[in-house]
Structure 1
Amino acid sequence: MKILIADDDDLALEMLEHTLRRAGYEVETARNGREALARLKQVDAPRLVISDWEMPEMTGIELCAAIRSGGFDSYIYAILLTSHARPEEIVQGMSAGADDFVAKPFNTAELLVRIRAGARILSLETREMAIFALAKLAESRDPETGHHLERVQCYSRVLAQRLAEQACYHDEVDSELIHLIYLTSPLHDIGKVGIPDCVLRKPGRLNDDEFAIMKTHATLGAATLDAALIKFPDARFLTVARDIAASHHERWDGRGYPSGLKGKEIPLCGRIVALADVYDALTSRRCYKEAFTHTVAKSIIVGDSGSHFDPAVVEAFLAAEQDFLEIQKRFSVEAAEAAEKDILVGV
């Protein structure tokens, strides 16, 4: 496992690096929190950080807070190395996002045990890979979706992040909910595994009877996840996933399906994914239509504010417009083709 050490004390940095390398870890170093944060945003970054509390430019506390609000795709485990051991200081550190503490001067055995504990926590992220693999299985039956899951996942996260900035949602949308929406939004169409191929893969628009069958994917998905919730009732990520699957086709005005929920009767996670899903459908090519431009899609979404979409989510969309464009570009057909060419050239 790769570990990043952030400390402005050369001697402490050298001691930590030596200890961890002897224990078999790959080690990278940073001289302050800002340098560490920049490294964590790069490809193949470490997922476990040991940071000093007091550092120039960005302290360990500030680094932890930045990690928790930074929108990283994977969880980063943060250990603070500190002489601050009073209860109120531990509360401050944990509130900022630290996962664990090691007192200075550190005890080697204790440090390694705490690192192994962090590694066990990070291994739980295999849950996230399994969730995404399950979602991709459902998506694989629809040949036209491309990188639909990845785009909806990223669109949903930036919408949640923007909502968190709104005063009325500041207390409701925290970093945990943002991550859970990002994690589980790919399961929004999991119910499509129960839709017959003659409907799901029909080359063209559906007739009324076929559309009625297609609409059952929302209840099928919710029922599937409800079955998992019976076995694991305390798993919050399953609750969020179920709510998204069940409600991402509900409408703010109550004219959606499957339950005709209206306004804030619709779970917030469902209202967020509803906009992300529609935006991606509008800006993607289908056998029955060409892809709309961002400008056209934006006009449709703004026009449906208060009818199809929660006005607050539309406001978040407008605030995140540049983020949407960047995500769309990152997961475009052209980007995928370019990546494939790079792989072939490398081979």
Structure 2
Amino acid sequence: MKVLVVDDDAVSAEMLRGTLQYFGYDVHCEHDGLAGFNQIRTGEFSIVISDWDMPGLRGDQLCRMVRERSWSGYIFFILLTSHGDMTHLVEGLRAGADDFLVKPFHPEELRVRLRTGERVLALESRDVLLFTLAKLTESRDNETGLHLERMREYGRILAEELSTWDEFKNEVDGDFVQMMYLTLPLHDIGKVGIPDAVLLKPGKLTPEEFEIMKRHSAIGGDTLAAAVDVNPNAKYLQMARDIAYFHHEKWDGSGYPFGLKGNDIPLCGRIAALADVYDALTSKRVYKDRFSNDKAKEIILEGSGKHFDPRIVEAFLANEDRFLEVSRSLDAALAPPPMETAPV
């Protein structure tokens, strides 16, 4: 990651350069605010560390100019100052600074603040990536309606319920719930690798065609696993990978692609399995009519301990009304507006 240091004090700038390079950053230094702004305009820097008192532009003025423009990505701005009073803190925040570092800085404090910046930038990249991949999935999916929206809502409901149970308290927290919501739309991303003749067939698949369709779980999982290899610390990619791989596994081991059984199936995959089936049952498809909620519940109950984790089924039963509300509200969003009749 490239860091821009803007500081008119050559000694301070070189100390920052050396420390940042030791931490593994690519560093460029400028010595006045205007030159710093011209470097920011190149689009090469995601993190800027700027002194407060400089020729050309003060640090707070530079920060304000950055915030007033539109950029392709977020710029994390740290103000470096020898002023420790509240007035400068307020002015810096008002200008749009993300963080402050008081001279003389401590290297470990600088490292911590840079890690904060990396997390902020990673969150922005995560959301853009997940949105783009979800839209790719949607563009190749022949299922009509708001399937992806319903899936993510059902998954969030189930995860929120489990987060209140003692047996899941060490696994399901607010971060898990949010990641479920963000990554569930990628469950069928592997369908991009299924031939059109199978994926877009307007009717029920033959056994041979179904075997081809089943490959989407492995295709999607393998694709996201490759992304995990490049970004091994990205937990959201790990969850997206597991959901893509395992949302068609079954509690009794009869699912695919690996035939995993029981708790060997990651929890996010077990949640996705029920959410996916419920939505498939209660949605109209080219090969079937829409089932009622009662019929869908009956099928899910029959699958408890076979297709579904019994505890996930319990979570569904505890939130049946919320599932119905999601289904109704999103169906209403799809309904055409009422036609206006001309006055007689």
TM-score between the two structures when normalised by the length of structure 1: 0.64
Q: 1:341 Cα shift?
A: 8.6
Contact kept in structure 2, 1:139 and 1:145, CA below 8 Å:
no
CA distance in 1 between partners of 2:318 and 2:86 (Å) = 44
Instruction: Give, as a single letter, the amino acid of the residue that structure 2 aligns with 1:255.
Output: S
The alignment's C-alpha RMSD in Å is 3.0
Per-residue deviation at 1:245?
A: 0.4
**How far did residue 335 of structure 1 move?**
2.0
C-alpha distance in structure 2 between counterparts of 1:214 and 1:186, whole Å: 18
The Cα shift of 1:171 comes to 1.8
Deviation track 1:91-148 (CA, whole Å, cap 9, x = no partner) reads xxxxxxxxxxxx9899314534775359992783353243123122222223333211
Q: Secondary structure at the match of 2:142?
A: coil
Report 1:124-203 matches (<5 A).
124-203=123-202
Whether the 8 Å contact between 2:188 and 2:220 is mirrored in structure 1 is yes
Q: In structure 2, what is the Cα distance between the partners aligned to 1:309 and 1:119?
A: 41
Counterpart-to-counterpart distance in 2, 1:194 and 1:290: 27
1:339–1:110 Cα change, 3 Å? farther
> In terms of Rg, which structure is larger?
2
Offset, 1:200: 0.4
AA matched with 1:108: V
Determine the structure 2 residue equivalent to 1:331.
Answer: 330
1:271 is aligned to 270
Cα 1:123–1:338 shift into 2, 3 Å? farther
1:271-291, CA deviations, whole angstroms, 9 ceiling, x for partnerless residues? 001000000000000111111
Deviation at 1:303, TM superposition (A): 1.4
Is contact 1:135-1:190 (8 Å) kept?
yes
In structure 1, how many angstroms separate the alpha carbons of the residues matched to 2:282 and 2:234? 34
Rounded to whole Å, the distance in 2 between the matches of 1:115 and 1:337 is 45
How big is the shift at 1:313?
0.5
Q: Closer, same or farther in 2 for the Cα pair 1:174/1:198, shift >3 Å?
A: same
Deviation of 1:203 (Å): 1.1
- Map 1:294-305 → 2, pairs under 5 A: 294-305=293-304
Q: Alignment partner for residue 108 of structure 1, among 76, 85, 90?
A: 90
**Structure 2 counterpart of 1:190, one-letter code:** I
Q: 1:106 to 1:151 in 2, by over 3 A?
A: farther
**1:332-347 mapped onto 2 (5 Å cutoff):** 332=331, 334-338=332-336
Whole-angstrom CA distance in 2 between matches of 1:126 and 1:340: 40
Which letter maps to 2:93?
A: L
Deviation by residue 1:222-244 (Cα, 9 ceiling, x = unmatched): 11001111111111111000000
Q: Distance in 2 between matches of 1:162 and 1:310?
A: 14
AA aligned to 1:194 is: G
Give the aligned residue type for 1:167: D
Deviation at 1:323, TM superposition (A): 1.2
5+ residue gaps, structure 2: 1-63, 66-84, 100-115
Letter in 1 for 2:184: S
**2:4 matched residue in structure 1:** none
Relative distance call for 1:116 and 1:165 in structure 2 (3 A) is same
What are the Cα deviations for residues 38-97 of structure 1, in whole angstroms up to 9, with x where unaligned? xxxxxxxxxxxxxxxxxxxxxxxxxxxxxxxxxxxxxxxxxxxxxxxxxxxxxxxxxxxx
Separation in 1 of the partners of 2:300 and 2:234? 33
Q: What is the rounded CA distance, in whole Å, between the counterparts of 1:309 and 1:281 in structure 2?
A: 15
Q: State the aligned residue count.
A: 245
CA 1:339–1:154: 2 relative to 1, 3 Å: farther
3-state SS of paired residue (1:125): helix
When structure 1 is superposed on structure 2, of 127-136 and 318-327 the one drifting more is 127-136
CA contact (8 A) 2:141 2:191 kept: no
Compute the TM-score of the two structures, normalised by the length of structure 2.
0.65
1:167 and 1:340, CA in 2 relative to 1: closer, same or farther beyond 3 A? farther
